[in-house]
Amino acid sequence: MLFAVLPAGGHSTRMGRPKLALPLGDRTVLEHVIAALRAAKVDNILVVLGPHIAELRPVAESAGVHVHVLAQGTPDMRMTVERGLLWLEDRFHPNQTDSWLLVPADHPTLRPDVIRQLMDAQTRHPQRSIFVPTYQARRGHPTLIAWSHVQGIRALPAGVGVNTYLRQQIDQTLEVASDSAEILLDLDTPEDYERLLRAWTAAQGSQGVNPIT
């Protein structure tokens, strides 16, 4: 079984407003991410919301995914991710052969074919357990991780992030080349959002279709 965890516990400090609720075409940023995951047929998608953005719960639920609203804020993304993993364990009891996608909730340019590439790489390379998309040798998002790594992430010292753990798993990691520059996208500042809007408008004008999902 394949799960997806979308950590959304941050305060969007640099953006100045909740970035997951920002509009992009006829959807919010968060809805675009969910749409890509659903199009890739991910089995169970979980959005982990901080209590300060609990109002996004109906937006996520209307998109057909699971939502866990944290009772308290978390100090970092790793803790938000761990809360989500625990929620999934309590309800679905994943086994060591299951996998999960770590997906930034502010990644609206996520393409279903990138997810499918990672899933295909996992099938073709069963000796690996972490799959990371790359564009021109730069690592991007999302990351596909075997459930067997959950225990190792939990064992990290306080303040050490998930990415630190993943970088240490050299022998278990396969980089999967992608033609999607969007895997490198950051959406942290108003300038990032303005660039995204310009790219979105240009892509719609040239293609006449939704260029993201």
pLDDT digits (tens, 9 = 90+) for 5-60: 999 876 656 676 778 889 888 889 999 999 999 999 998 999 999 888 788 899 89
Supply the DSSP symbol for 189.
Answer: S
Judged against a pLDDT cut of 90, whether residue 202 lies above it is answered with no
Tell me the residue range of the domain where 163 lies: 2-207
The amino acid at residue 199 is: A
31: which residues sit within 8 A by CB, 6+ positions away?
Answer: 59, 63
81: enclosing H helix or E strand: helix 77-92
Judged against a pLDDT cut of 60, whether residue 210 lies above it is answered with no
Residue in the block written with tokens 């021109």: 136
Residue 100 included in any domain: yes
Judged against a pLDDT cut of 90, whether residue 147 lies above it is answered with yes
Judged against a pLDDT cut of 70, whether residue 208 lies above it is answered with no
Cβ 47 vs Cβ 5: under 8 Å: no
Residue 212 included in any domain: no
Residue 213 included in any domain: no
In total, how many domains does the chain have?
1
Segments of the chain assigned E as strands: 2-8, 23-24, 27-28, 44-49, 66-69, 99-102, 130-135, 138-139, 143-146, 173-177
Residue 98 included in any domain: yes
Task: Write out pLDDT tens, residues 67-87.
Answer: 999 988 777 899 999 999 999
In three-state secondary structure terms, 44 is strand
Q: Work out the percent of the chain whose per-residue pLDDT is above 90.
A: 60
For the chain, what is the radius of gyration of the CA atoms? 16
Residue in the block written with tokens 């660039």: 195
Judged against a pLDDT cut of 90, whether residue 100 lies above it is answered with yes
The enclosing domain of 104 has a CATH number of 3.90.550.10
- CA 183 to CA 197: how far, in whole Å? 16
Task: Write out pLDDT tens, residues 111-122.
Answer: 999 999 999 999
User: How many residues can be counted in the chain?
Assistant: 213
Judged against a pLDDT cut of 80, whether residue 207 lies above it is answered with no
Residue 19 included in any domain: yes
> Considering the entire predicted model, what is its pTM?
0.90
Cβ 133 vs Cβ 36: under 8 Å: no
